[in-house]
Amino acid sequence: MSEREAMPADVVVVGAGPAGLAAAIRLKQLNSELEVVVLEKGSEVGAHILSGAAIDPRALDELLPDWRETCPLAETPITANHHWVLTRGGKWSLPEVLMPPLMSNKGCYTGSLGTLCRWLAEQAESLGVQVFPGFPAADVLYDESGAVIGVATQDMGVAADGSHKPDYQPGIELHAKYTLFAEGARGHLTKPVKARFELAKDSSPQVYGLGIKELWDVAAGLHAPGTVIHTQGWPLSESETWGGGFLYHQAGGQVALGFVTALDYANPWVDPFKEFQRWKTHPAIRPVLEGGRRVTYGARAINEGGWQSVPKLAFPGGALVGCAAGFVNVPRIKGTHTAMKSGMLAAEAVAAAIAAGRAHDEQAEYDAAVRTSWIAEELATVRNAQPLVAKFGGALGTVLAGADMWLRTLRLRLPFTLRHHSDASATQRADIYPRIDYPKPDGVVTFDRLSSVFLSGTNHAEDQPGHLLLTDPTVPERINWPLYGGLEARFCPAGVYEYVGVEEGSPHLVINAQNCVHCKTCDIKDPTQNIEWVTPEGGGGPNYPNM
């Protein structure tokens, strides 16, 4: 018999991001009597949320039409939009008239997604939703038929050796008629659920980018609220890697800037963190930062697979919503609106099912609703953009992607959809490529990993079981070091993976799990898929103030 207490609910939502909170709010709007519980692994709502963010308010307008009256996001509408192609020492602007209308930021806003989620949580709680931060869902619960019947939160107070510390508390089982998984990209429960129900059987593999972000206070004379800038080209063009940067002038004299590296890069010497630092030295970027102050830092994997990578969304007892399913519009660099809309559609299907006396069955209505919604229309229009760039490179790929989007915008539907290959399988041997000589940080505009992680507020209790698991502990020394040059030390933006003993000729991987910012890159990019990310003790990880 389980020692865990059980708590009943109508609906359990795993993850207090925009999709999960939108689902919770919509459920209570439809039926105020429903018992809705939201679990969040961060120490508070927003603590693990990281995005640019330039936000399309379409879903927010549908969910809470009066949001502009009280939501902090309304403070900074986007007023100027620039797209730069960078060379090593210069840039040229891509005229907005050449881009399809869907690429416009007219009517959009820029601000902190974490702050938006805190505001959404307040709206949810005012409707009676129970939101529990610091309680990560650790296990999925199934009944005898194999249907999902809820989740169990993680045991607290477990020592690294598995013994119970004096403050030990067993997790709680939350039993629900339906469970919505809104964990974000590469969710640790979503991953086994997708495998168990073969949800990705008929879809292309999901692919990802690693987004690294900093928030800066900048000089008043350099601050232009509402201006957003996106870049492509240098420095990734030098390693035949794809990605780009963003620089958003937001409220309060702050600039949010960041860099996304597509994780399908072949060259294992590429270091996404150092590419970001190098990008900041460009003569079009550095002047904005000089004289300013770096406030915080963070990183997170981003879905980039698009429409062809969206899996089956429903299964007995549950559904995937938001980035757990993968609704990011990569060319627009936006996913909040599609994530929220998916949560709302899931809520509508679940509320109707509960009203009809159903429970623990498959929400086929939700899957069908998404595939006939504006989510589908928007993502189908851009479905070939990312794979065209991945196949043909930044220059030619951008031209082909633009042509494909224009043709689809004009309803000249092309009769093909390009597919993806997994990011892990794209990695090539280190001996094929020369090492990349990255400049040392100057401490003014560019910085090292550890000082950056410090600004993320990351903290994990030292005496707890490891949350970064190696399926085969011999793989790092036997495969990853000799074949890939120990790429774990480079793809991680937080200094978690470190090879020691190199000078002595006996390299050995050390995992500094306390540095982990929960970006999930290691779970994605490791060539042998030997690293498994599981949830650490509740409240651990980054504590982003307004990312």
Q: Which residues are part of the catalytic machinery?
A: 51, 300, 336, 492, 516, 519, 522
Structural contact between residues 67 and 74, judged by C-beta atoms closer than 8 angstroms: yes
Structural contact between residues 230 and 82, judged by C-beta atoms closer than 8 angstroms: yes
Q: In whole angstroms, how far apart are CA 175 and each of 141, 152, 179, 198, 412? A: 8, 9, 9, 23, 48
Q: Determine the Cα–Cα distance for residues 521 and 517; give it in Å rounded to an integer.
A: 10
Structural contact between residues 445 and 281, judged by C-beta atoms closer than 8 angstroms: yes
Structural contact between residues 342 and 39, judged by C-beta atoms closer than 8 angstroms: no
Q: Determine the Cα–Cα distance for residues 258 and 299; give it in Å rounded to an integer.
A: 9
Q: Determine the Cα–Cα distance for residues 25 and 36; give it in Å rounded to an integer.
A: 9
Q: Determine the Cα–Cα distance for residues 140 and 19; give it in Å rounded to an integer.
A: 19
Token pair 């620089």 is at which residue? 247
Q: Determine the Cα–Cα distance for residues 337 and 334; give it in Å rounded to an integer.
A: 7
Structural contact between residues 268 and 490, judged by C-beta atoms closer than 8 angstroms: yes
Comparing CA positions, the residue from 461, 453, 473, 470 lying closest to residue 536 is 461
Q: Determine the Cα–Cα distance for residues 190 and 187; give it in Å rounded to an integer.
A: 5
Looking at beta carbons, which pairs linking 366-374 to residues 24 or more positions away fall under 8 Å? Answer: 366/313, 366/314, 366/319, 367/312, 367/313, 367/314, 367/319, 369/345, 370/310, 370/313, 370/342, 370/345, 373/341, 373/345, 374/58, 374/341
Four-point Cα dihedral 15, 17, 488, 434, nearest 10:
150
Comparing CA positions, the residue from 338, 411, 419 lying closest to residue 383 is 419
Length in residues, the chain: 547
Structural contact between residues 123 and 25, judged by C-beta atoms closer than 8 angstroms: yes
